[in-house]
A and B are shown apart, each in its own frame.
Chain A
Amino acid sequence: MEGAATPLSFPPEVFARLEPDIYLQRHLELGLRPSGLRAFDEFRKATIQASEPLPGTLGSAVISVGGTTVVCGITGGITEQKGKHGVYPNVEVIRGTRNGPPTQEEMVISQRAFQLLNNTDYIDPVNFVIPGAEKTKWLVLSASVQVLSRTGPCFDAVWTAIITALKNTRIPQMEVDPDTKQVVSDLSTVSPLKLSDESASLDQFSSTFAIGEVQKDQKTVVIADIEGETEEACLNSRINVVTSPSGLLTGLTIAVTSSNATGINKGIQVSREHIQTVLASARKRASELATAPVS
């Protein structure tokens, strides 16, 4: 035919950037994921390093999940403000921008971690009391988290890093110096964080799932542990579960955005089965992480 346009052809990585939605759909239709050869319900392998605390910290952890690397260091401080004791997580994502205000992502992750840590009473308040200054001084712990390499949404890895670092944190013995009235800590006698009762455990792990649609078959799929630009950009409906291996929930958020993949925009169909699958899968992931070897 005269004047017929020759079809344009792009290599996959260019096409993924130009038309991420179509790129994602073409994968999902075949039962594949853009981020690689993982099944929809498969998580990436996590490696946990927490043998010896980094210098200057009371406890630390390095977590790598796929290409994401997170470091968390716990340090201590003394405050004189009543009721302000506790654990303060501050998350930084290294992105190569100038020192400036934290990004939206950093603020969201930090706040979420702070809420989760302080909503649960697993950490006994007695940890933060200083002998000899019970009514005037309290211990605060800062968890400073750096995401050194980021390949997608990173709350799960950040949370695992905070939890693992807290599990390995050793609180030094503290006493008030009678002369200076300052709190002096002794690193030769240390104890782990005390938990509020025997059933309490810090083994609470976070798993994030995305809800996607396969346009062609008009069905909803649940995709675990999303990674990469395409998955992050196109899968905006997420379910986040924070659970213990036994299935005790400490956090659950479901955020469903309107569907545009179907073109008819009638909303994403999330059924009871989907949520049950997600909860079971999160529980399985939590027990995997709880028993993962720590090097």
Chain B
Amino acid sequence: MSVLQDRRRVLPPVDTIPLQFKEDEGSSGSKETTIARTRTIRPIFIKQSVVANASGSAYLEVEDIKLQCSVYGPKPIRGSFTQQADLLVEAKLPSLGQDASNDKSASIEKDITSFVQTSITPGIILTQYPKSCINIMITVISADLENRNFKSLLAAATNVASLALVDAGIALYDIVTSASVLLSRNENGESLYFDPETPRESEDIEGVLSFMTGQDESNIVGMWLDGENITSKNLTTLTESAKEAACQIRTLFNGVILQEFHDKEQEASNSK
């Protein structure tokens, strides 16, 4: 069996298999400690303008999730005239010694890309940028994809992209914020959690929804639900609570954006 080695990158031999670790007894215990919060989100650390070689960028950290997003553009494109800007979203997981074509991480990258693209496209005034392109690059610096809730990662990715777009000064209808929710169902009844840490269990419904909360009607611009037997009542609960969480995040963002704007203004007046 001969597999072609990618000679342009310095990668380990093709037959390399990642280290396998002994199951740690301690790790299963972490599941218990999870959901103590209900209708609050975890503390978020955000910072804008972290990348020097991009039009705009942002960094976001929620516990183990560390994301960076850079926006490049609007840049002119070659070829024929287009009415509005082309938006290209790309997500990159830490490669950790794996080949870039690794199937599993490629499919996760695709999931992140498509959700973020769906969510943020309605927020951007694309028609203001004819014959140009805007590239959005989301770099996952660290995230536990095995044991943590993937929907929370998607929400974080959408949020960091929104902040980077603001930093890049791209014309927006509204800042899109995204929130993940989990509806836990068991014999004790239903309970709802914002920003869940752990993945859903068999009976639960989990979802991530993106909103433009600045609009009067809070339009839903992205939605992904997982679970079985979703009733219309469940759906209402999920959307209403996700909206509440998204509003919490939006309030936080408003504060940060105002502060950063204020700082930039101060800096500009000092340098004069």
Residues of A within 8 A of B (CB): 54-57, 67-69, 71, 73, 75-81, 84, 88-92, 94-99, 101-102, 106-107, 110-111, 113-114, 140, 142, 144, 146, 148-151, 172, 174, 182-188
Known pairs A55-B143, A90-B10, A148-B51 / 8 extra A-B pairs, C-beta < 8 Å: A54-B142, A71-B141, A77-B12, A94-B51, A98-B88, A111-B10, A148-B68, A149-B50
Contacting A at CB under 8 A, from B87-104, are: 88, 90, 92, 94-97, 100
B137 lies within 8 A of chain A by Cβ: yes
Judge whether B8 and A101 touch: CB under 8 Å. Answer: yes
Q: Which residues of A contact B13 (CB under 8 A)?
A: 79, 81, 84, 140
Q: Which residue of B lies closest to A84 (CB)?
A: B13
Q: Determine which of A55, A89, A102, A182 lies in contact with B142 in the assembled complex, contact meaning CB atoms within 8 Å.
A: A55
Judge whether B94 and A94 touch: CB under 8 Å. Answer: no
Contacting A at CB under 8 A, from B1-50, are: 8-13, 15-22, 24, 50
- Measured between alpha carbons, how far is A187 from B20 in the docked complex, in Å? 10
**B interface secondary structure, majority:** loop
Q: Which residue of A lies closest to B25 (CB)?
A: A188
Q: Determine which of A71, A107, A149 lies in contact with B52 in the assembled complex, contact meaning CB atoms within 8 Å.
A: A149
B54 lies within 8 A of chain A by Cβ: yes
CB distance from B102 to the nearest CB of A (A): 12
- Measured between alpha carbons, how far is A150 from B72 in the docked complex, in Å? 14
Judge whether B70 and A96 touch: CB under 8 Å. Answer: yes
Judge whether A75 and B97 touch: CB under 8 Å. Answer: yes
Judge whether A77 and B142 touch: CB under 8 Å. Answer: no
Q: Which residues of A contact B144 (CB under 8 A)?
A: 55-56
Question: Known contacts being A55-B64, A99-B90, is A144 close to B95, with CB within 8 Å?
Answer: yes
Q: Which residues of A contact B95 (CB under 8 A)?
A: 90, 92, 144
Q: Which residues of B contact A149 (CB under 8 A)?
A: 50-54, 57
B135 lies within 8 A of chain A by Cβ: yes
Q: Which residue of B lies closest to A110 (CB)?
A: B10
- Measured between alpha carbons, how far is A69 from B54 in the docked complex, in Å? 13
- Measured between alpha carbons, how far is A32 from B17 in the docked complex, in Å? 52
- Measured between alpha carbons, how far is A92 from B97 in the docked complex, in Å? 12
Q: List 21 A-B contacts (CB under 8 A).
A: A54-B66, A55-B144, A56-B144, A75-B97, A76-B19, A88-B11, A90-B9, A90-B11, A94-B137, A107-B9, A110-B10, A111-B10, A140-B13, A142-B12, A142-B97, A146-B94, A146-B141, A148-B68, A149-B54, A150-B52, A172-B19
B139 lies within 8 A of chain A by Cβ: yes
B contacts with A, residue count (CB < 8 A)? 42
Q: Which residues of A contact B97 (CB under 8 A)?
A: 75-77, 88, 90, 142, 144
- Measured between alpha carbons, how far is A220 from B105 in the docked complex, in Å? 50
- Measured between alpha carbons, how far is A149 from B17 in the docked complex, in Å? 31
Judge whether A184 and B22 touch: CB under 8 Å. Answer: yes
Judge whether B15 and A73 touch: CB under 8 Å. Answer: no
Question: Known contacts being A55-B144, A68-B52, A148-B68, is A183 close to B94, with CB within 8 Å?
Answer: no
- Measured between alpha carbons, how far is A149 from B144 in the docked complex, in Å? 23
CB distance from A215 to the nearest CB of B (A): 29
Q: Which residue of A lies closest to B136 (CB)?
A: A96
Q: Which 4 pairs between the two chains have the least Cβ-Cβ distance?
A: A142-B97, A96-B72, A67-B52, A77-B16
Q: Which residues of A contact B17 (CB under 8 A)?
A: 77-78
Q: Determine which of B9, B12, B92 lies in contact with A79 in the assembled complex, contact meaning CB atoms within 8 Å.
A: B12
CB distance from A55 to the nearest CB of B (A): 5
CB distance from B117 to the nearest CB of A (A): 14
Question: Known contacts being A88-B11, A98-B88, is A78 close to B135, with CB within 8 Å?
Answer: no
- Measured between alpha carbons, how far is A182 from B19 in the docked complex, in Å? 10
Contacting A at CB under 8 A, from B54-99, are: 54, 57, 64, 66, 68, 70-72, 88, 90, 92, 94-97
- Measured between alpha carbons, how far is A238 from B10 in the docked complex, in Å? 24
Judge whether B53 and A182 touch: CB under 8 Å. Answer: no
Judge whether A56 and B94 touch: CB under 8 Å. Answer: yes
Q: Which residue of B lies closest to A174 (CB)?
A: B19
Q: Determine which of A54, A89, A146, A187 lies in contact with B22 in the assembled complex, contact meaning CB atoms within 8 Å.
A: A187
Q: Which residues of B contact A90 (CB under 8 A)?
A: 9-11, 95, 97
- Measured between alpha carbons, how far is A46 from B41 in the docked complex, in Å? 34
